[in-house]
Amino acid sequence: MAAAPRLLPLLLLGWVRPGACTDPPDGGWLAGTVPEEPRCTVERADASLTYSLFLQRFAFSRPVILGGVTDNSAFRALCTREKLLAAFGPFPVRLSTANTYSYRKDTLYFFGDNNFTEWEPLFQHYVPPPFRIPGTSPAYSFGIAGSGSGVPFHWHGPGFSEVIFGRKRWFLYPPEQTPHFHPNESTLAWLQHTYPALPPAQRPLECTLRPGEVLYFPDRWWHATLNLDTSVFISTFLG
């Protein structure tokens, strides 16, 4: 049986250790050493993208990185290390394993399982992406994760993911192209051991998201993530 996820106060997590720089633009979070991809292969769109074009070009067919579609400067100001520790430091948070199919090993990080009663003063300041898929409703998950952590390949319904602080590298495959990965291997291990041997035609779409950028992924697209820095992020799942 899988071990139950650990519960810890936010202030005890190693990636918010005392003494980290609190100056912007990092928000006091720790920078990492994991590299970005040589070239982003995910299409980008800016605030000129209309809802009708979003539905026509991306909603049901391919991912897109959206820039300038929201202004979450107020939310970002509340997500600095100093502000989160002051407001939520003593609160217990549920740490999740980064593995979807197995709990044998991997790093743990805080994502989802948010108590909306406790976190509502923060979440009410978040401005979600302006696009929706007909017949769906949004559900939010907030996360903080250390450099080198991430989620191995998995798929689910469509959604958006926005980086608030740090950098998050994404790897994506269409539904018909199942990636080769080991269920007990972290994304970082996959990047180091499996990725270099992939022929160009078998490599995923990939890109690194920076603060303020939003990735949209369609229904059933395989995706894996790798946090290059200590990352603060929020996802909008369309159920």
Q: In which band, very low, low, confident or very high, does the pLDDT at 140 lie, cut at 50, 70 and 90?
A: confident
Does residue 64 fall inside a structural domain?
Answer: yes
Domains: count for the chain:
1
Quote the pLDDT of residue 5: 46
Quote the pLDDT of residue 102: 43
The residue among 119, 124, 126, 125 whose CA lies nearest residue 87 is 119
The 3-class secondary structure across the chain, one letter per residue, is CCCCCCEEEHHHCHHHCCCCCCCCCCCCCCCCCCCCCCCCCCCEECCCCCHHHHHHHCCCCCCEEEECCCCCHHHHHCCCHHHHHHHHCCCEEEEEECCCCCCCCCCEEEECCCCHHHHHHHHCCCCCCCCCCCCCCEEEEEEEECCCCCCCCECCCCEEEEEEECCEEEEEECCCCCCCCCCCCCHHHHHHHCHHHCCHHHCCEEEEECCCEEEEECCCCEEEEEECCCEEEEEEEEC
Mean pLDDT over residues 125-138, rounded? 93
Tell me the residue type at 18: P
**Alpha carbons within 13 A on the beta-carbon side of 30:** 18
Residue 4 reports pLDDT greater than 80: no
Q: For the domain that residue 147 is a member of, what is the CATH number?
A: 2.60.120.650
- Backbone torsions φ then ψ of 173, nearest 5 degrees: -125, 145
Quote the pLDDT of residue 164: 96
pLDDT in tens, 209-225: 999 999 999 999 999 99
Quote the pLDDT of residue 179: 96
% of residues, the chain, pLDDT over 90? 61
CB-based contact 237:156 (threshold 8 Å): yes
Residue 19 reports pLDDT greater than 80: no
CB-based contact 168:225 (threshold 8 Å): yes
Residue 72 reports pLDDT greater than 60: yes
pLDDT in tens, 45-71: 999 999 999 999 999 999 999 999 999
Whole-angstrom distance, CA of residue 239 vs CA of residue 102 = 24
Q: In which band, very low, low, confident or very high, does the pLDDT at 12 lie, cut at 50, 70 and 90?
A: very low
Does residue 6 fall inside a structural domain?
Answer: no
Residue 23 reports pLDDT greater than 80: no
Q: Could you tell me the residue range of the domain that residue 64 belongs to?
A: 43-238
| Lowest mean per-residue pLDDT among 12-21, 125-134, 157-166, 196-205 | 12-21
Global confidence as pTM: 0.87
Q: In which band, very low, low, confident or very high, does the pLDDT at 107 lie, cut at 50, 70 and 90?
A: low
* Residues belonging to the chain: 239
Does residue 193 fall inside a structural domain?
Answer: yes
Residue 1 reports pLDDT greater than 80: no
pLDDT in tens, 79-96: 999 999 898 888 877 776
Does residue 55 fall inside a structural domain?
Answer: yes
Does residue 29 fall inside a structural domain?
Answer: no
CB-based contact 163:209 (threshold 8 Å): yes
Does residue 38 fall inside a structural domain?
Answer: no
Mean pLDDT over residues 117-135, rounded? 90
pLDDT in tens, 145-154: 888 888 899 9
Cβ neighbours around 141 below 10 Å, total: 15
Residue 180 reports pLDDT greater than 70: yes
Whole-angstrom distance, CA of residue 70 vs CA of residue 130 = 8
Residue 108 reports pLDDT greater than 90: no
Does residue 14 fall inside a structural domain?
Answer: no
Does residue 60 fall inside a structural domain?
Answer: yes
Whole-angstrom distance, CA of residue 31 vs CA of residue 228 = 8
Whole-angstrom distance, CA of residue 194 vs CA of residue 226 = 15
